Chain A
Amino acid sequence: MNTLGTPGEQVARLEALLKRVRTNAVALRNERASGEVVSAPMSLGPNSDSPASGTPVTAPTGTLPPRGTLGTLPDFLEQAVTAPPEMHDFGQVDVDPLALHTDDPVTQIPPRPEPLASALEAPTFEDPESSLHSLESDVPTLPPSRDDDIQDPDAEHTKPLWLGLNNGAGTFQGEGGYESRPGDSHRTLAETPAAKVFDTSGEFSTFDEASRESVALTSEDSLGGHRELSPPDVEVDVAAFDNGGIGEEEHLDTSPPISGHRASTRSPELLIAESLSPEDLEQELELGATHVDDSGGRISDAPPSVIGATITLPDESSAVSLELLEPPPSSFNANQGGAGGDDLEADLPRTSFRAEYDASLSSPPSAVDDLRAHEERRTLEQRTSRQPERVAISQRSEDDLPPVLSSRPAAPVGQANSVVYSPRADATGAVFEGERAPLPSMAFLALLDTSLSISVRG
């Protein structure tokens, strides 16, 4: 039997309850102002909907109310403040904000703000016209299971690999070479306020940190929402790369964005930002076992393949780069207990990735692509507002340069063709200055020999 009544009655009681809460909140403020203690008996029972009013008492009870009631307002507030979240007693119904979560990092659903009315939903709910039914339609579609993403061992891995972090000086660390795409690859965890998810395709996406309250980061979701979590003393972004990247393209872009929380679900190979102390980070790097999993922001004992980290100070004024130059021994396994443990990671390729970008492998336009494009534009705008000269640099392409240096006469002073080294350069590693005629991508040796061939008659 549904002791809670019809949904309409539940909503009515809920509204009455909220009204009383507001009333008592006002009473509490008055109590603080006047020094008088006010309590308000509150209950979610079916007979508890009598109007409540602040009743002066001499002293607070100081004890937690029995299960099933909210107790007096001061008690409720005290309980809410002092008790850990899992100990909160919201009455007859236990509210689990993580109820929709699963342990599968791929199918994990970010927590959604649960309407309070849903907490009162009876198990024998029958009213099809009730708005409570809309909760079902709000459940996001689950991404494909990881079982569907069986990696093809024969698949040639031609996606560019994002193997390192920008240390703030504009350079990337890559194993076997790295070639970025002009204009879009120089986003760093340090530069962007949002936690970025990098994957082996060289793309990036943003996921909402709202699902990880324990991670104190400023989060900006992919739909433009902004959420400020409590700032850490030191924000540390750890990049981890799983060795199982082969065949990654087999399940690229297979997951639609889920309510703007995540635009990518390629969890095993993702680079995840996590908040750690510098000491913890250093220790993890020494151990070589840091692998920040995105299934809740935890650090697992996955294959040790941390390749870079950036510590960003709160004021973003400087950054320190920590780098693990040598890959840890393949036999290392934090879970490898005693002798005879299988070293599963030893057979996995570690450095056989190609760093060339193959545009033909780009997936057709999709909602994810649109989302990424939007994110890229927005990030570019942010960078433009902060570092316009760098954006202008990155948009230059070596291929756009006209030929030069045939028999061109000497340029007047200040108008020579020039190329200047810049640590913030794009993949070409160079920056073309101003509006001067840029240089072609000629071999340096040819230019040098031409210069050395100049003979001056005395």
Chain B
Amino acid sequence: MTLFQTHSAALRFDLNRGRINNRDGDAFVLVPLAVMSELCRELSEDSLTSFGYAMGTEIGRRLLQRITAPNELPSATLNDVVAALGDEFAVAGLGTLGVEIWGSALVFTLQDAVLSFGGGTGLDRADSLIASLLSGVLMRAFSRDSNVVALGRAGRTARFVACNLATSEQVERWVEERLSAGEVLARLNQAVQA
């Protein structure tokens, strides 16, 4: 079953009125990446998290709207969600969304992520923004309180793991210890088997 309608015109540019709308009528603005990066660099961690969370809730709302029957949400397959959410990420210009399953851990991947704000701890601050965004999506679309933690970038792929609030603190500590994404995920699954 395909729960989501695909669409061929994600954004409509009304040049006469100077408006950009998606298929649901939501207004958009185009901001150059450099300006966006400059803005985010000036934000504090809390503000950056709030910004990302707000973006995520908006995306989560549209994700819900694209579901043909809301009561079918629990049966939405992984592929359905990745397709719909990937559409939103692609339209937003954030990169190519993916999902990996590492044992019990649900890991979001973002390839060709263009956002990069730099960071002193080996973790790009843009990844923190994306992690907050994904948390907002899960909260708005699936009503799950979760923390999505950025695991760092490997090549062109950034990874984010979805975990509960308590576990997320431990995962963040592992990341600060410069553990690789694979090592962090292995520890998570060791905890499951224990």
The interface of chain A, by Cβ under 8 A from chain B, is 164-167, 169, 171-174, 177-179, 308, 321-323, 325, 398, 404-405, 407-414, 416-423, 425, 427-430, 433, 439, 441-445, 447-458
Contact = CB atoms under 8 A, between A and B. Distances in A.
B123 interface: no
B65 interface: no
B106 A448 contact: yes
B90 A408 contact: no
Interface in B146-188: 146, 161-164, 166-167, 170-171, 180-182, 185-188
Nearest to B81: A444
A169 B91 CA distance: 12
Contacts of A172: 6, 8
B191 A456 contact: yes
Interface in B107-129: 107, 109, 111
Contacts of B185: 410, 416
Given A429-B4, A456-B171, A173 B9 contact: yes
Given A410-B186, A428-B79, A457-B191, A451 B8 contact: no
B130 interface: no
B141 to A, nearest CB: 9
A191 to B, nearest CB: 14
A454 B79 contact: no
A125 B3 CA distance: 67
A448 B182 contact: no
B182 A413 contact: yes
Contacts of B181: 413
Contacts of B103: 405, 408-411
A428 B104 contact: no
Nearest to B186: A410
Given A177-B2, A448-B162, A429 B83 contact: yes
Contacts of A453: 104, 164
Ranked nearest first, the 9 interchain pairs of A and B with the lowest CB-CB distance are A429-B83, A421-B86, A413-B182, A420-B98, A451-B106, A410-B189, A430-B79, A323-B9, A418-B100
Contacts of B142: 444-445, 448
Contacts of A405: 101, 103-104
Given A430-B79, A444-B80, A452 B6 contact: no
A445 B73 contact: yes
Contacts of B7: 171, 173
Given A451-B162, A456-B171, A421 B98 contact: yes
Most buried by B among A323, A419, A420, A423: A419
B6 A409 contact: no
A167 B90 CA distance: 15
A325 B24 CA distance: 10
Contacts of B162: 448, 451-452
Most buried by B among A164, A407, A444: A444
B192 A454 contact: yes
Nearest to B99: A419
Most buried by B among A174, A178, A442, A448: A448
A423 B91 CA distance: 11
A407 B100 CA distance: 15
Most buried by B among A166, A322, A425, A447: A447
A423 B90 CA distance: 9
A420 B79 contact: no
A178 B73 contact: no
A409 B75 CA distance: 25
A444 B108 CA distance: 12
Nearest to B190: A410
Interface string B1-35: 01011111100100000000001000000000000
Nearest to B6: A171
B164 A420 contact: no
Given A410-B103, A439-B101, A456 B111 contact: no
18 contacts: A165-B8, A308-B8, A323-B9, A413-B180, A418-B98, A421-B85, A421-B86, A423-B86, A429-B4, A429-B79, A429-B80, A430-B78, A430-B86, A448-B146, A453-B104, A454-B192, A455-B164, A456-B166
Most buried by A among B2, B5, B98, B101: B101
Most buried by A among B82, B161, B170: B82
Nearest to A417: B101
Contacts of B59: none
A200 B2 CA distance: 19
Given A165-B8, A410-B185, A429-B83, A178 B101 contact: no
A429 B170 contact: no
A453 B9 CA distance: 38
B97 interface: yes
A13 to B, nearest CB: 60
A449 B4 CA distance: 21
B37 interface: no
B96 A422 contact: yes
A448 B139 CA distance: 11
Contacts of B76: 443-445
A167 B8 contact: yes
Contact of A456 (B77, B99, B188): B188
Given A164-B8, A178-B5, A325-B12, A445 B98 contact: no
A455 B166 contact: yes
Contacts of A408: 103
Contacts of A404: 101
A457 B142 CA distance: 26
Contacts of A418: 98-101, 109
Nearest to A398: B79
Given A322-B9, A454-B188, 12 more contacts: A178-B5, A178-B6, A323-B8, A323-B12, A410-B186, A416-B101, A417-B100, A419-B100, A423-B87, A441-B77, A454-B167, A455-B166
